[in-house]
Amino acid sequence: MKRLGLLTAIGTLILGLALSACAPQKPPLGSEQNPLVMVFVPSGESEEIKRGGEQLAQLLGQKLNMKVTLNLASSYAAAVEAMGAGQAQIGWLNTLSYLLAHEKYGVEVILATVRFNQTYYTGQIIVRADSGIKSIADLKGKIMCWVDPLSTSGYLMPRILIKANGVDPDKDFAKTVNAGSHPNVVKAVYNGDCDAGATYVDARGTVEKDLPDVKEKVVVLATTAKIPNDNVSVVKDLPQELKGKIRQALLEIAQSEEGQKALKTVYQIEGLQAVDDSFYDEFRAQLSASGYKLEDLVKPAK
């Protein structure tokens, strides 16, 4: 009986190995059938992000000798979930999206963006110049435009600033609107659809071509504390060697004329700098001191 049981076990093992060998193998990552995917958050004009992203994908593919494509996410949360589900291996994430992706899925930052020779930026609250709104206290009872619940400068930091000035961002507005992008917030305030809006400094420039008087009609009411810049992140299960190659390739691309044009097109990026997760430690401490928890920040505005 023991001999029979042993033979049965061996037979089962052999059958399992045979079936495994016959199972279709997934094409290697970076092949035409299984490309390396970069996901971008929708913080600017989608057509510009797509155009710049496609240029970056082509340049990175040439450097790595791999097929690289892009995924323009419909929302900040969608970008995070794409990385968590293995639908994207590289993410161009804003600060809050990265913090959530890191905590939820172990996503790792490899590069921070550089603008104006800085790896940080600030948010702003904007209003129409003729609105009569002169202080944050005047925002009570008004219509407020946010970018997205996962936008650091277009939601999180302005909320902290507003609350610190005695206005409850959950209760004191007549209505709140999630506009989906920074340019959309600027346009909403310009057109009078919202009394005030939150964006990065200075998102008004993104619509200046179409609205040349935007900086006259839309003015800055207040600015936030410093925010670490957006970044390039990778999923945790990507081979360590490939992570290093991606980082080095993007740093080289950022030094080339063609790469600089693509970075400028996608997110007005002037350069890239190698960083690790500790880059965000000070910001995490600031959030903690403000009494906020990450899971509380990602729920939609009322």
Which pLDDT tens digits describe the chain residue by residue (302 residues)?
A: 455 555 555 555 555 555 555 556 778 988 899 999 999 987 778 889 999 999 999 999 999 999 999 999 988 899 999 999 999 999 999 998 999 999 999 999 999 999 989 999 999 999 999 999 999 999 999 999 999 988 889 999 999 999 989 999 999 999 999 999 999 999 999 999 999 999 999 999 999 999 999 999 999 999 998 899 999 999 999 999 999 999 999 999 999 999 999 999 999 999 999 999 999 998 888 888 777 777 665 554 33
Question: Would you call 282 helix, strand, or coil by DSSP?
Answer: helix
pLDDT score at 166: 93
pLDDT score at 254: 97
Identify which of 7, 26, 60, 35 has the alpha carbon closest to the alpha carbon of residue 232.
60
Work out whether the CA dihedral 284, 289, 295, 296 comes out positive or negative. Answer: negative
Whether the predicted model's global pTM rises above the 0.85 cut:
no
Name residue 235's amino acid. V
pLDDT score at 286: 82
Identify which of 239, 243, 238 has the alpha carbon closest to the alpha carbon of residue 276.
243
Phi/psi at 21 (nearest 5 deg)? -65, -30
Identify which of 62, 55, 38 has the alpha carbon closest to the alpha carbon of residue 266.
55
Q: Length of the chain, please?
A: 302
pLDDT score at 264: 94
pLDDT score at 41: 86
- Give Cβ neighbours of residue 49 (< 8 Å, ≥ 6 apart): 40, 42, 43, 72, 266, 267
Rg (Cα) of the chain, in Å, rounded? 23
Work out whether the CA dihedral 181, 186, 188, 194 comes out positive or negative. Answer: positive
Q: Cα dihedral angle (77, 230, 294, 183), rounded to 10 degrees?
A: -60
Name residue 170's amino acid. D
CB atoms within 10 A of CB 130: 9
Q: How far apart are CA 198 and CA 205, in angstroms?
A: 14
Q: How far apart are CA 212 and CA 70, in angstroms?
A: 32
Whether the Cβ atoms of residue 124 and residue 154 lie closer than 8 Å to each other: no
Whether the Cβ atoms of residue 147 and residue 218 lie closer than 8 Å to each other: no
pLDDT in tens, 265-282: 999 999 999 999 999 998
Identify which of 181, 170, 123, 190 has the alpha carbon closest to the alpha carbon of residue 147.
181
